[in-house]
Every structure is written in C-alpha cells, then in structure tokens.
Structure 1
Amino acid sequence: MNQDAKIYVAGHNGLVGSAIVRVLQAHGYDNLLLRTSKELDLRRQTDVEAFFAQERPDYVFLAAAKVGGIGANNTYRAEFLYDNLMLEANVIHAAHQSGVTKLLFLGSSCIYPKLCPQPMREEYLLTGFLEPTNEPYAIAKIAGLKLCENYCRQYGVNFISAMPTNLYGINDNFDLANSHVLPALMRKFHEAKLNQIPAVEVWGTGTALREFLYVDDLADALLFLMQHYDEQEFVNVGTSEEVSIRELALMIKAVVGYEGELQFDPSKPDGTPRKLLDTSKLNGIGWTAKTPLKTGLERTYKWFQHNYSTIRGRGSEKLSC
C-alpha cells in the first residue's frame, strides 16, 4: 500500500480495529477513514453504499463485528447472526461497487467444527458440526469468508480473509456478562483483589485448551497480509501454542497479584474442547507471532489498571465499531 492510500478501518474502536489503527499509524499510514457505529450503522445498506460512494477508500480492513464470549453468543443468538451477516455483506458489496483495491475480512477460529482435527488447517472448515453455543456467529463469519472468496471468483476483486485465534490485549471488552474468557478473568481477579474476596469462580472444568494471540501481533499480521498476500483462500493467524483454561487462570491470577482460590464450575459450558490453529501457511510466507502470553498479559493488565474507570464493557453488548 502506498503511504498516502485512503484506508477504511471498519470497527476502529474495537479490540482489533484499534490495534489496526495503531499499527498503521506506526508504519506511516495516516490517511485513515474512521467512523463510529453512531456515525455509520454498517447494518444499513443504503448508508454503507452512500459512505463508500462518497469516500472511495482504496483499502478496507473489515474488523467490525458483534462479538462476545460463550454467554453472549448463546444468549443473543439472533443478533449475532443478523448483525454480522448484514454488516459484512453491506461492506463487502459496497467495496466491490466502489472499486476498492483490496479488502481484508476477519473470520474467527471458533467457526471451525467443534471436533475439528488438531491443529486446525484451513481446509478443515465446513468438515463437521459447529459448536452449538456459537453456531449463529460462526455461520455469519463463514458467510463473510465465502462472500470474499466468491466475489474474487466472480468479479476478479482482491478480497482476502484472515482467521485469527482467540485475541486479547489493549482496549478489550471487560464486561463480565459478555466478554471472552481472558478479559473476564482479568477483571474478576482484579476486583476480587481490590475487595479482598477469598475465591473467584471460573466457568467450566478448566480443561479446555485455547490459543491466545496478542491483538497488536494480529494487527501486524493483517498489515503483512495486506501487503504480501493475494489469494482467495483464507489464512490462519495464531501462535501455534495452547494453554488450558486452568493454566490461563493461574497465569492471570499471578499477573494481577490475587492470592485467593479458584473455584471451577463444571455446570457452565467449556465450549470446544480444543482449538489450536495450524499456522504453517502464514509462517511459510514470512510472518510469525512475537509476543509471549505472559508478556501480553502484563501489557494488558497494565493498560487495564490505567483505564479501569473508563474501560469498555460496563454496558450491554454492542457492535465493535
């Protein structure tokens, strides 16, 4: 991308979008188009088409999405399906209509089959049943990946997709009702430490295995893909390392400095038993993750402490725009 290219980051206030903005600006890209969800509701087709017709971005990072953890996915099933279908379809189609040079869409590793062979290779998508608790979100994200793939096939556009693993970092959502496991645990331990609570509840058995990628590493990978990758097939983005939820909880507990006990609740869902990405495709074209989990947790907690009074996630789940 040329330094003066006009770049639209959809979802710039969210975890991923804000990291993309940081990485772009660090590399000298300052001609950025940014709109909040109040300024531009991506679920409204006419508004999206008018925005693209007027602004004519050269490149698009489609990081806007309705996201959440197991509880939110299982509670707001219709919203997770409808909102994500609408916003991705509107942006991808408008990008095609307005002649965008290149678009990058974000999937999620949770859309692979529930009992997918491990580590998960790109070709394993759609080879088995989805995890029931997040099926609506997964269906929407799969539709986005296939939209990009088939717009490439039919129209010859350069719309690529990346499949990131579980993300965490600066500007995450720390709402205990709707957030993902890592920020939820960080907030629980922090508040338990402040209030001298003797034990913290952790959903599930603690045996489920997860892979975690620091969000600024993801943003660096997305810029790399925008500059170096032009294939129709999506690409996994992760660390190729995994940790159990129990091990993760103990790591966060140590970073926060909480000295109480952990209480696992097996009546709550574990989700997919294991979810490790095969990143050999991305590694083979020249990119690998740089931030160790402990380092990323320390950076995240430092930011969390500094921004505790104003962190996102004190209200209901909303679009990450």
Structure 2
Amino acid sequence: MHSIEQLQNIINKAIAETKYTAKPAELYEPISYLMKLGGKRMRPVLVLVSTELFGGDVLKALDAAVGIELFHNFTLMHDDIMDKAPLRRGNPTVHVKWNESAAILSGDVMFVEAYKLMIRVDDSILRKVLDIFSDTASGVCQGQQADMNFEKRDQVSIEEYIEMIRLKTAVLLAGSMQIGALIGGAEKDQADLLYEFGENLGLAFQLQDDILDVYGDPEKFGKQVGGDILADKKTFLLIKARELSKGESASELDKWLNKPDALPDNKVTAITSIYDSLGVRKLAEAEMENYVEKALNALDKISVENSRKELLRGFAEQLLIREH
C-alpha cells in the first residue's frame, strides 16, 4: 500500500495534469488558480486509501478522487464569497483576484467538472457512486445553510450543532471513503462501515478544531486563536457554556457576547476564562474522544487484514493529534 505522502503526490500530479476548456479564460482560469493553491488533499487521499484498503488499484480511483477535490474547492470558492474572505492559503481569494460574478460562475463549472470526472467510474458501480456523491453534495450545502442560520439565532442546541458539522464537514470525508471503497470492490456493508468511520472521524476533527481555536498554539494550529470567540461563532464550547452558565457567569458571558466594541484580546481572555470555570474544554474533549472511539470501532469491524487498516488508523491519529 502507498503512504499518505505518496498518495498526495499522485493526487497533485493528476490535478496539475487536468486540462480545462481554454475559453472563455475568465471562466476556467480561476479554477486552475484555486486548485494550484495546494492543501493537504485529505479528501481525495481518503478516496485512494479506501480503494487500496480493499485491494483496488488507486489509478482506477484517480478520476473520482480529483472529482472530490474539485467539489471541495468549489465549496471553498463559494464559502469565501459568503464570508467575504480576502485570502485563501495566503493568496487572494478568487472573488478578490477576479470578481464575485466570476467566482460564482467558475464555482458552478467546478461542480459540473466534478460530476464529469465522477461518471468515469466503472458502469457496475456508477449509480451507487453518483447517489453517494449527490447526497454528499446536498448535505454539505445543507450544513452550510444551517451554519448561516445559526448566526441569526440566540440559542442553538448541541444536537443541532452536531448535525450541522456532520453535514458541513463529516459527510464529505465519509462519502469520499465510501466511494473509494466501492471502486476498490468492497461489498455494500463494508463500504457502509467505512462511511461510518469517516463520518465519526469528521465529527471528531471539527470538535478538535473548536478546541484548538481557543486553546491552540497559533504557530502550530495555523489559525488565529480566538477567532471563533471574536466572531461569536456558535461552537460546541460556546453552546455548552451557555447551557451550563448560571447567575453571574451567564450575565458575564452575555455581556461579552453583546459587546461589539470590546477589545479583541480582552474579549478572548474573558470568554476563555468563563470556559475554564465551566470546564467546557474537558467536555468538548470527551465528546471528541467519543467520536474517535466510534470511528475506530467501525474500522475494527471491516473484514480486511488488520495490517491493511494501519494506514487509516495512523491517519486518524495524525489528523487528531495536532499541536496545542
């Protein structure tokens, strides 16, 4: 079996060699630009890993893997417009470099190009693969809309939040693995177990992202620590803090959440202190570990040699053990 690094290299080579229609340039150049910005290629790598897990040839899964990465980047292109984000991986976002209309239309074409690659899978699994891909794509959009809806609501439950991150983040990981498994020749029940592994891993990953946003080392985490707090983003930590806070702590939390003129460092420090007093970090870590355990239990049930599962087990550990 290939290593993660080898699979990343295979994906990057395939992306670099993917050719798009030359004209109109304003429609296709933004696609090439965004795809060349790089990234860990986590989702397409999972397609290839899942194919190899069941003894399949990664080259037969390469079109689907690139299709998954195209779809993922399509969502990033449109997310950047909605978030009015100026940068993506340290470079100007597409709507900044070109304009919003170009970014919307180029994103639409990326979605079409993703389908064009996906339909190259073997005819015997084509309907199953397209069903998974379509359901996954719809789920990601539903999750994004739910996240946007949360911005306008004062109260969001933990159950609602978990469902939102399941759709927005976890289903794409899970769907990528399920598609890879089918290309590799897995039976439906085995592909479903791999979906369960990916879904729970995705949930754990997002929960850790919530934790690291508050408690991570900015140099190692790669993001601004406290960004979610400054944006009043309804993460697991904030939702749980609002649920647990009473009396003075509830008043203090509300004061900082409704203080638009607060100095950023003061707001982050004050809300982090409230989180500490309520113990929400430990609760978030326990929730995260619960999903990791569910993921690994699903992996254990897959009927292949344990040695073939080590890459996925290691991938899960590598994904979740990010420096604080």
Structure with more relative contact order (C-alpha pairs < 8 Å, separation 6 or more): 1
Of Structure 1 and Structure 2, the greater helix share is in: 2
Greater share of residues in strand: 1
Bigger Rg, structure 1 or 2: 2
Q: TM-score normalized by structure 2?
A: 0.31
